[in-house]
Amino acid sequence: MHQLMYQLTRQLTHKLMHKRRWLFMLQLAFTLLICAFLIVPVILSMLAGLTVNYLVGIESGLTLRWVVEVWDGYRETIFASIGLSLACLAITLVLGVPAAYALARRQNRFTRAIEELLVMPVAVPGLATALALIVTYGTAGGFRTSWSFILVGHVLFTLPFMVRAVLAVLMAIDLKTLEEGAASLGASFGQRFRDIVLPNCRSGILAGSLMVVTLSMGEFNMTWLLHTPFTKTLPVGLADAYASLRLEVGSAYTLIFFVMIMPLLLALQFFATPRSKKFSVKDVS
């Protein structure tokens, strides 16, 4: 009897395992397919930047000529973009974190209205924002032709992302009581902000920073209208390259963009993910 049961169970388990493996394979195949769909164009584009003649194909041979050409002609735009996005990050941090704090501490109809209004620059097309900026400040010569003109546009566009990210984290903790606890121990406003508020919204600040840098780096709509021949960002330069030069040059540009940007984003991502909790032997007991 037992023997029979054992046999039956084994057969059943085997069948189940078999079925499960099939399901797993199917899922894996589907995932890989999606990945390929997304990644293949990127690889092709980067390969195009290294091909002697894209129309002929990869048989024409590989070259660094286009990369060098782009580097010579456009490297200022790359550094400009990195500088611009970091400046944008600095401003959104200085404006956004205190703003989120104020919104979190004072929850009323007024602050909720502000919260809603904050998403406007995201909802309004970048072109419209840019036009509004040009109509208003276009005649302010020095400002119009300087980098700060584009920076203002970027800050407008990215600030909501910083505020929202920080606000979400602050709303999830009982900030008021935490601050009262710190105050009861003698901490002044500045000390509370430094020791309690900032460390506890760290994950929000980092997530917001990642958002701001990424968005500012890749922003095209608004920047395309705001830029001057002397203030070109990377995406604007990329559009130029695709529009006016050989496809290989544009692709080489993409390649350089990747190589320059990826380490920055990866570093940000690394800091944004919370460190794994430290467990000591004591905790197991």
Partner 1 sequence: MSAAGRPFSIQLKGCSKTFPDGTRALETLELDIEAGETLVFLGPSGCGKTTTLRIIAGLESPDVGGQVFFDSENVTALPIERRNVGMVFQSYALFPNMSVAQNIGYGLRIKKHNAKAINARVSEMLEMMRIEALADRRVDQLSGGQRQRVALARALAVRPRALLLDEPLTALDAKLRDTLRLEIDTLLRSLAITTVYVTHDQAEAMALGDRIVVMDQGRVAHVGTPREIYQRPANRFVAEFIGTMNKVSGHASAGVFTCSAGTISWPQLPAGATELLFRPEDIRLAGADEPSTLSGRVAAAFFLGDRTRLFIEVGEAQPLVVESPARRSFELGEQLGLAIDVNGLLVL
How many residues of this chain bind partner 1 (CB under 8 A)?
Answer: 24
C-beta closer to partner 1: residue 190 or 229: 190
186 binds partner 1 (CB under 8 A): yes
State the minimum distance, in angstroms, from the CB of residue 115 to partner 1. Answer: 21
Nearest approach in angstroms of CB 100 to partner 1 is 17
**Minimum distance, C-beta of residue 173 to partner 1, in the bound complex (Å):** 7
Whether 260 and 78 have beta carbons less than 8 Å apart is answered as: yes
- Confirm or reject binding of residue 283 to partner 1 (CB under 8 A): yes
Please tell me the distance from the alpha carbon of residue 186 to that of residue 113, in angstroms, as a whole number.
Answer: 34
Question: Please, which residue, 45 or 200, has the CB nearer to partner 1?
Answer: 200
Greatest Cα-to-Cα distance within the chain, rounded to the nearest angstrom: 95
d(CA 229, CA 233): 10
Provide the Cα torsion 157, 190, 201, 122; round to 10°.
-10
State yes or no: residue 2 binds partner 1 (CB under 8 A). Answer: no
Q: How far is the CB of 174 from partner 1 (least distance, A)?
A: 6
Confirm or reject binding of residue 173 to partner 1 (CB under 8 A): yes
- Three-class DSSP category at 231: strand
Q: Which of 27, 39, 145, 180 binds partner 1 (CB under 8 A)?
A: 180
As a whole number of angstroms, the distance between CA 257 and CA 46 comes to 10
Residue for token digits 């894209």?
A: 54
Is residue 109 close enough to count as binding partner 1 by CB under 8 A? no
Give dist(CA 105, CA 174) in Å, integer.
10
Q: Which helix (H) or strand (E) holds 141?
A: helix 141-144
Neighbours of 5 (CB within 10 A): 9
CB of 102 to partner 1, least distance (A): 18
Site for partner 1 (CB under 8 A): which residue of 104, 162, 196, 261?
196
Q: Does 142 bind partner 1 (CB under 8 A)?
A: no
Q: How far is CA 170 from CA 161, 164, 179, 264, in A?
A: 14, 10, 12, 26
- CA–CA gap between residue 225 and residue 185 (Å, rounded): 53
Nearer residue to partner 1 within complex by CB, 2 or 278: 278
Which of 178, 278, 270, 161 lies closest to 218, judged by CA? 161
- In whole angstroms, how close is the CB of 81 to partner 1 at the nearest point? 34
277 touches partner 1 (CB under 8 A): yes
Identify which of residues 151 and 201 has a Cβ nearer to partner 1 in the complex: 201
Q: Looking at 27-35, 122-130, 154-162, 276-284, which segment touches partner 1 (CB under 8 A)?
A: 276-284
Give contact residues for partner 1 (rule: CB under 8 A). 173-174, 177-178, 180-188, 191, 195-196, 199-200, 202, 277, 280, 282-283, 285
